[in-house]
Amino acid sequence: MYNTQKVQSLLIIGFVWPEPNSSAAGGRMMQLISLFQKQGFTITFASPAQDTDFMIDLQAFQADKKGILLNSQSFDTFVQELNPSVVLFDRFMMEEQFGWRVAEKCPNALRILDTEDLHSLRLARQKAFKEKRDFKTTDLLIEEVAKREIASILRCDVSLMISEVEIDLLTTTFKIDTSLLLYLPLLLEPHAFLNLDTAPLFDNRKDFIFIGNFLHEPNWNAVQYLKETIWPLIKKQVPEAVLNVYGAYPSQKVLQLNNVKDGFLIRGRAVDAQEVVKQSRVVLAPLRFGAGIKGKLLEAMQCGTPSVTTAIGAESMQGQLPWNGFVEDNPELFASKAVTLYQDEKIWLEAQQNGFDIIKQRYMTTLFETEFKAQIQTLQGNLPQHRLNNFMGALLQHHTLKSTKYMSKWIEEKNKS
């Protein structure tokens, strides 16, 4: 085996400090920490990001916290002394910054990329939307970020993917070998979701809800779409309807959309996101571009709250199972289905059950943790051969290491003067 340490250690290099109450990405990171801890790993979480008021207390979760600097030799000393068995890069930008240093100082460490979602796919779809044209997969081939992201995937030993659609894109459009990709969606423990006995009843719920981090462009766009197009259509059919819009980091532009008369209420950050979702009757998520799988829609299922979303919103989430409500791209149909869910208890209950079924069959931690552990052990035990099989990754590692290394060292020297 490549690494013979008895107690295995994981170094996570985070783009930001985890905020599970602010975004699905924060929740995803805490799931990964738990998954590795169950395997006996000690965890160090390092990030060049500034501390925030809403970051989780990592030490309360038995993880060490370490601030690191970009373009600094101090990271080399830190990582060499830590000598981790596994290094996990949180998004490709962190692999770009620190991957060459890890490869140089800890060559025997298994390098994992957690993609979160394919950034290049989200950006290419966003560009197509803004240019008022349909997205084509060939758009990815000219997307600048795709070149960086694919290079990062190839340089790593394995990339964690939350979307089967994205795995298909990588293997068909970019010809990535499946041995470099591992499907691991958002995960839920059995106690993390309600059931028919514990979820608030239809009659005990009220209002529509949208929830999403406003630093994420697809969420801001969806709220604009609700305000301008969809909400007036719903309001026409249900004059007393109220839409509560929750989300971390709302800008002034978001706050200005608040209109009590129209029942369009900007609530800002939810103290407890699950609490506000489970008290609501219907989740609205008219996402027009994006990637990955949507934490807000999985959270709706957890809370027993049916949802109406778009094909982009539901992408890769339900497999062959019926949706937790309705999937509609046409705004009139979207509004009509939202009203149906809001008013028809029988249809609402069926949708709620669909959500519970999707969770049980696709998102339970128990469905993935054994296979995940086996895959990590296999990769660690076969790392030299695995890397030999990935010639394109070795080639990129060779050239990128040199170009990134000398650029970083130039910046480092510049910072000294």
Domain ranges of the chain: 9-187+368-416, 192-362
Provide the mean pLDDT of the chain: 94
Task: Determine the pLDDT at residue 400.
Answer: 64
Indicate if the pLDDT at residue 174 is higher than 90: yes
Give the pair of three-digit tokens for residue 141: 């081939």
Indicate if the pLDDT at residue 2 is higher than 70: no
Q: Give which of 381, 383, 373 is closest to 40, Cα–Cα.
A: 373
Which residue, chain included where needed, has tokens 């059995």? 190
Q: pTM, whole model, 2 decimals?
A: 0.93
H-run or E-run covering 153: helix 144-155
Cα separation, 84 vs 185, whole angstroms: 25
Which residue, chain included where needed, has tokens 């990590």? 376
pLDDT per residue as tens digits for the range 12-23 = 999 999 999 888
Task: Please spell the DSSP secondary structure of 299-323, one letter per residue.
Answer: HHHHTT--EEE-HHHHTTTSTTSPP
- Which overall architecture, per CATH, does domain 9-187+368-416 show? 3-Layer(aba) Sandwich (3.40)
Q: How far is CA 384 from the centre of its chain?
A: 30
Task: Determine the pLDDT at residue 404.
Answer: 66
Q: What's the burial of 401, exposed, middle or buried (CB within 10 Å: 0-12/13-18/19+)?
A: middle
Average pLDDT over residues 27-40: 96
Assign 218 to helix, strand or coil: helix
pLDDT per residue as tens digits for the range 152-169 = 999 999 999 999 999 999
pLDDT per residue as tens digits for the range 53-103 = 999 999 999 999 999 999 899 999 999 999 999 999 999 999 999 999 999
pLDDT band with cut points at 50, 70 and 90 for residue 414: confident
pLDDT per residue as tens digits for the range 291-322 = 999 999 999 999 999 999 999 999 999 999 99
Backbone angles phi, psi at 285, to 5 degrees: -145, 70
414 vs 331, more confident: 331
What is the sign of the dihedral through the CA atoms of 150, 298, 54 and 62? Answer: negative
Task: Determine the pLDDT at residue 405.
Answer: 67
Backbone angles phi, psi at 90, to 5 degrees: -85, 95
Give the pair of three-digit tokens for residue 214: 């406003």
Q: How far is CA 52 from the centre of its chain?
A: 19
Give the pair of three-digit tokens for residue 415: 């910072």
Task: Determine the pLDDT at residue 5.
Answer: 47
What is the sign of the dihedral through the CA atoms of 314, 218, 120 and 409? Answer: negative
Average pLDDT over residues 201-230: 97
Indicate if the pLDDT at residue 401 is higher than 80: no
The CATH class, in words, for 192-362 is alpha beta
pLDDT band with cut points at 50, 70 and 90 for residue 204: very high
What are the CA-CA distances from residue 350 to residues 307, 357, 412 (Å)? 12, 11, 59
Task: Determine the pLDDT at residue 239.
Answer: 97
Percentage of the residues of the chain whose pLDDT score is greater than 70: 95
